[in-house]
């Protein structure tokens, strides 16, 4: 049985915060967004693990 590929966390709110470099919608950097399709599963999982903290920081800064 094969696993489902990890889906993009994109929520179609694409604007990058200048001070953090993170997308206000999904929390990824432009580099991570651009490399998402080519990234291996472990790379995607690593990025996904960081997103809740990034989103929380954006919210704390009043940017989200």
Coil, strand or helix at 57: helix
Domain parsing of the chain, residue ranges: 13-64
Q: What pLDDT digit, counting tens, does each position of 2-41 carry? A: 677 789 999 999 999 999 999 999 999 999 999 999 999 9
Question: Is the full-model pTM beyond 0.75?
Answer: yes
What is residue 2's predicted lDDT score, i.e. its pLDDT? 62
What was the pLDDT predicted at 23? Answer: 99
Dihedral sign for Cα atoms in the order 40, 46, 47, 52: positive
Per-residue pLDDT tens digits for 36-55: 999 999 999 999 999 999 99
């Amino acid at each position: 049985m094969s696993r489902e590929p990890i889906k993009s966390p994109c929520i179609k709110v694409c604007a990058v915060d200048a001070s953090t470099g993170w997308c206000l919608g999904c929390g990824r950097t432009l580099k991570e967004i651009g490399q998402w399709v080519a990234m291996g599963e472990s790379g995607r999982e690593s990025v996904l693990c960081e997103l809740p903290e990034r989103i929380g920081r954006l919210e704390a800064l009043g940017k989200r």
